[in-house]
Structure 1
Amino acid sequence: MNRTSAPVPGLSLRQLHIDTYHEPVASMSAVRAKIYGRPIGGDAAQAIVRDVVDGRYSEIELAALITACSGDRMDVAETIALTRAMVAVGQRLRWNSELVVDKHCVGGLPGNRTTLLVVPIVAACGLTIPKTSSRAITSPAGTADTMETLAPVALDLPTMRRVVEQEGGCIAWGGAVSLSPADDVLIRVERPLGLDSDGLMVASVLSKKIAAGSTHVVIDIPVGRTAKVRSQQAAQALAHRLDAVGAAFDINVSVMLSDGSQPVGRGVGPALEAWDVLAVLQNQAGAPDDLRQRALQLAARVLELGRKAAPGFGMALARSVLDNGAAWRKLQAICEAQGGMRTPPRAAYTHVLTALHQGRLVAIDNRRLAGLAKLAGAPKSPAAGLVLHAPLDTMLSAGQPLLTLHAESPGELAYALAYAESQDSIFSIQEA
């Protein structure tokens, strides 16, 4: 039963964004208890997740749940309980292979589109890798956004199964297959809140890996001052939680800590990141070597974890598959199986930003750089974003290009340019 709320003097209901109150949801009592410091147990997690999936939580209640679990407010036991509840309410895939591999990056680093390289390398070697990826939450592009500039990603379960059985792997949008539907609801609310939580992150990542039928997972944690994970201590704590939750579900989790001090590749934005991937796969001269090397390291770890290469020999196998074109042919085959390969779009409007003075580039603010790409229109405008011209330690002269903004409209370009001109800490240049 709904009952109309009483108006507050001087404010309309529309101004308050509250039209009706609904009957309290029983599981909200566990959320309120969590706000005051009481852990969420297994039964409470099951009830909360079921109510979230059934649409019983209002946006305000979802925000309260996410806030209550943000930061370091969830312990490992709570994370396991939440992961189990999230798996229970979704669909779960089973594969003929006893060994199913996957990889994931916790994010926070512009560019870094290694999945589109790792999946075809690994699949070309004969392993099964059913990769489901998210759209952007707080970044200028998620893996699904970038892949969508190359092929359809909104696959239903029968299509996903067909692609994987045919090609050994896929790169699909997780939101279309309902493997962890509670996570899709929470992500929608997390996006505007911009809150980070190890507990929610681990439950999100591993619930989807478990639901996808993965048995062995490599997880990349970039560490840097302006990355999502900012210190070695925080990275080790996250790695411990991933290991512990993975063990609770009999998943072999292998964590890699990587450099998060600067973007990976040159493009930031869906199509621009796709062009980087194509350059690496096609072994083009001038392809971003940092993206290539990071993808090879991750692919090597997956191949060794999946027992396709002996310890220490994964890199040689991964490199040979990339160098001889097998990975490129495999990505084309995956794209065709997912609905047909596309050419990524190009932006109609660009503007070059240059260094104001000479010196050495000593720091890049990943968060502000990502914000700049978003203001240019990414990821909503697939061709929008930026191309980085100067990596760390570049010796710059006055007027040397730092980046090129890409936008699909002059208004978005002007908006991003105004932001860039108001910032003096995106690039830190130490005068010579």
Structure 2
Amino acid sequence: MSAAPSPDPSLTGERLRPHRIGIDTGGEHVVYLPHGSPACQGEGFGPQSRLQLSLGGHRLMANLAIVQGNGLAPDQIGLSESVWASLRPTADDHVTLAHPPSVESLSNVRAKLYGGTLAEAQLRAIVADIAAQRYSNIEMAAFIAACSGDHLALDEVVALTGAMVDTGTRLRWPSPMVVDKHCVGGLPGNRTTPIVVAIATALGLVMPKTSSRAITSPAGTADTMAVLTPVDLDVGRMRRTVERTGGCLVWGGAINLAPVDDTLIRIERALDIDSPGQLVASILSKKVAAGSTHVVIDMPVGPTAKVREARHARMLERMLHAVAGRFGLGLTVLRTDGLQPVGRGVGPALEAHDVLAVLQNLPAQPRDLRERALALAAVVLDTAGRAESGSSLAMARECLDSGRAWRQFQAICEAQGGLRSPGVAPHRYPVVATREGRVEAIDNRRLAQAAKLAGAPASPLAGLAIDVRVGDMVACGQPLFTLHAQSPGELAYALEYVARHPSIVSLGATSEEIGT
């Protein structure tokens, strides 16, 4: 005798009228029920319960919060902005509420927390459940923690990469060679990608660049480009841009490339965690999904960069090559100087000003950003076989000096929806040297934290501008860096942090002091 089929939870749960409560939860799905709601009493829901919501053909998971007072009627359910945008209810709709089915893949997360090695099927089950929004933030944080450090073996990284690729769109391009460039991060202001894309595509390469929002930094390439041009393009608009110009600079999240990666990034940002195995899976899943055939990786190495020493760089480089090889990606890793920030600006608009200054060949352009972008563009040209031996750097430099790269960048931005001018924050405060001395070191991590506390990247005009470089002599009272904020409160928050960390810019002894 066969067992009776399990009832569909969406047909057996509570039906409630949706109410847009107007709370932005930062992408997390949250719903609200009034204290004493019949739904809570009848189904046993309580604060932080995980619920399944159904409306028409849409189904999603959300966390429950209980509202005290008379804000909601007993037959209403409040929806956060992310839930409202996902369900899009009309005036006559009802949302069905039910307990979610059990998530079997959580047993795999627990096994990983206790040091187990996961098979491909187990990792795919985890990723599929995250993609289906069956994991809460706490459960995703547990998965990220279980995989942190060096807890992912090579085969696990390969499986995680493939699973993330398969959760979203996978692009195909008619060109047999599609190039890409990525930086592993950890170096404030290192915004070379827009310059590299402009040079490479001006010289005939196909470079459909998809970028992430910031994870643990004050700005990602997508954050900086969003100040200058629309980056939330759908696949059709992205393809038309590439057909017209050979390239684009868009946010990968808008075209559903490895969407689980973006979900995990949101949790990693809160935890300030970006471990090697997850970093490799994050980078390469996006490249595979974007249809890239050849990728250049910029890996800054320095004591306060993300990659702190040569030993870690070698380990990460080996893992990148090994995983890329499994997916047929041609990969070149370029280790670069990670001792200090690149350019002057740290934060979306401030970095956009630097990018424009280099592309326009302005006299005040940051030379370190210019030379770093040229070096990376030369490697991209070499990887694609576009230049004769030894001529790639000269080709890249001529493209930039002649204005071809600037014209190409303008064409890409126009195809994406128009080029805008970055603004300037209304509140600025210089952090000055308290004595004379030579700049011995700049702490990349604490400098980035100061920029984030000033509001970057959520406040696009916020961040800081660096006024000195390592090796500079400074006088007492001379600005070391200038904080930029969009509100007095954010400026005060950043200044309080800077006051507690006076050695963000370290000054050594003067020559007179050494002589005595």
Matching of residues 45-124 of structure 1 within 5 Å: 45-124=123-202
The one of 343, 354, 363 aligned to 1:276: 354
Q: Is the 8 A contact 1:376 1:412 kept in 2?
A: yes
Identify which of 378, 385, 398 aligns with 1:320: 398
**1:271-327 CA distances to partner (integer Å, 9 max, x unpaired)?**
010000111011111210100011011100001101111342211111010000000
Identify the residue that residue 220 of structure 2 maps to in structure 1. Answer: 142
Give the counterpart of 1:382 among 446, 455, 460: 460
Contact 2:46 2:66 in 1 (8 A): no
Separation in structure 1 between the aligned mates of residue 153 and residue 335 of structure 2, nearest angstrom: 22
What are the within-5 Å matches in structure 2 for residues 171-250 of structure 1? 171-250=249-328
**Are the structure 2 counterparts of residues 309 and 423 from structure 1 closer, same or farther at C-alpha, using a change threshold of 3 Å?**
same
Contact 2:47 2:66 in 1 (8 A): no
391, 407, 410: which one aligns with 1:332: 410
Q: Structure 1-normalised TM-score? A: 0.95
Partner of 1:289 in structure 2?
A: 367
Does residue 364 (structure 1) correspond to residue 445 (structure 2)? The answer is no
Report deviation, 1:238. 0.4
- For the structure 1 residues 118 and 6, does the alpha-carbon distance in structure 2 shift closer, same or farther, using more than 3 Å as the test? closer
CA root-mean-square deviation: 1.7
Contact 1:3 1:22 (8 Å CA) reproduced: no
Contact 1:91 1:178 in 2 (8 A): yes
| Range that drifts further, 238-247 or 398-407 | 398-407
Once residues 227 and 325 of structure 1 are traced to their aligned partners in structure 2, the CA distance between those partners, rounded to angstroms, is 32
1:29/1:295 Cα in 2 relative to 1: closer, same or farther (>3 Å)?
same
Distance 1:115 1:6 in 2: 44
1:158, distance to aligned residue in structure 2 (A): 0.5
In 2, Cα distance between the equivalents of 1:160 and 1:362?
A: 45
Per the alignment, residue 341 of structure 1 pairs with 419
- Greater relative contact order (Cα 8 A, min sep 6): structure 1 or 2? 1
Q: 1:272 to 1:6 in 2, by over 3 A?
A: closer
Match of 2:84 in 1: none
Tell me the number of residue pairs that the alignment of Structure 1 and Structure 2 aligns. 423
1:14–1:39: structure 2 CA closer, same or farther, 3 Å change rule?
A: farther
Q: Could you say if the C-alpha distance between residues 6 and 344 of structure 1 is closer, same or farther in structure 2, counting changes exceeding 3 Å? A: closer
TM-score, normalising length from structure 2? 0.80
Tell me the SS of whatever aligns to 1:233: helix
Q: Is the 8 A contact 1:357 1:431 kept in 2?
A: no
Stretches of structure 1 that go unaligned for 5 or more consecutive residues are: 8-12
Partner of 2:16: none
1:39 is aligned to: 117
**Could you tell me how far 1:160 is from its partner in structure 2?**
0.6
Q: Secondary structure at the match of 1:202?
A: helix
Larger radius of gyration: 2
Alpha-carbon offset, residue 221 of structure 1:
0.7
Inter-CA distance 392–234: structure 2 relative to 1 (3 Å threshold): same
Amino acid of the structure 1 residue aligned with 2:454: A
5+ residue gaps, structure 2 = 1-8, 10-42, 49-64, 68-97, 511-516
- Name the amino acid aligned to 2:264: L
Worse-superposed segment, 358-367 or 415-424: 415-424
Question: Which string of whole-angstrom CA distances, capped at 9 and with x for unpartnered residues, describes residues 236-282 of structure 1?
Answer: 10000000000001100100111111100000010010000111011
Counterpart code for 2:154: V
Q: 1:256 aligns with which of 330, 334, 339?
A: 334
Identity within the alignment, %: 58
AA at the equivalent of 2:291:
G
Task: Please give the secondary structure, in 1, of the residue aligned with 2:104.
Answer: coil
Please give the alpha-carbon distance, in whole angstroms, between the structure 1 residues aligned to 2:276 and 2:242. Answer: 30
CA distance in 2, matches of 1:422, 1:56: 41
Match of 2:237 among 137, 159, 165: 159
- What residue number does 2:506 align with? 428
Greater shift, 208-217 or 348-357, is seen at: 348-357
**CA spacing shift, 1:409–1:253, aligned 2, 3 Å:** same
Aligned to 1:125: 203
User: 1:55 Cα shift?
Assistant: 0.6
Contact 2:232 2:254 in 1 (8 A): yes
Q: Is the 8 A contact 2:231 2:250 kept in 1?
A: yes
